[in-house]
Structure 1
Amino acid sequence: MPGPLLIGPLGPLELAIIVGVIVLLFGVGRISRIGGDLGSSIKEFRRAVREDDEEEGAAEETQAQAQVQPEQPAPQQPVQQAAPPAQQAAPPAAAPPADSAPQGDSTTRNVF
């Protein structure tokens, strides 16, 4: 024995009566406004999902480029390693000692 809410399947006549009652209760203007609001909400949701997908695609593309870029400079590293011994051959007197910096230098301020 079905429950009291399960009367049976709704046919076209029953659906037409339900739609007619809803139109009488709310009016055509309010129903069209609700439909427009629902449509704009769906459109906004789809746009947000599309933008989110584009951001994820851009992030994946950036990661792919970051993985490719470290492979390209690898052949240049031996050339860069050869340069520091030439710089070490310079006399050590060329660099001023750290203690001889003037006290009133604007680049080193005492914050405390």
Structure 2
Amino acid sequence: MGFGGISIWNLLIILAIIVLLFGTKKLRGIGTDLGSAIKGFRNSIKDEDQKDDAELKADSKPVQLAEPAKPSAEPTTSNQPTTEKDKV
């Protein structure tokens, strides 16, 4: 017994019938077309992966921060006295 009750001889007979129906040239063309379609699909997947990797690398570049603000000479807190009367 082979695949689900189909023996190897049954598969060979089915293959022979397919070859007789379609011919070897047509089957070769179908195989070539199918192979090129699979190859194109793999290439497009690989290109998308490379594109995604390039985008991730571009996004992960370190960001250069601006220089920190220098403190001003005058205090900015509200606890400081503003008039002569408040200073005493």
- The alignment's TM-score, normalised by the length of structure 2, stands at 0.70
CA distance in 2, matches of 1:22, 1:30: 11
Which of 23, 29, 42 aligns to 1:27? It is: 23
Consecutive unaligned residues of structure 1, counting only runs of 5 or more, are 1-7, 83-112
Answering whether residue 38 of structure 2 is matched by residue 37 of structure 1, we say: no
Shift of 1:9: 1.2
More helix by share: 1
CA distance in 1, matches of 2:17, 2:5: 19
The number of residues matched between the two structures is 67
Consecutive unaligned residues of structure 2, counting only runs of 5 or more, are 71-88
Aligned counterpart, 2:76: none
Q: Which runs of 4+ in 1 moved over 6 A?
A: none
Answering whether residue 46 of structure 2 is matched by residue 69 of structure 1, we say: no
- The alignment's TM-score, normalised by the length of structure 1, stands at 0.55
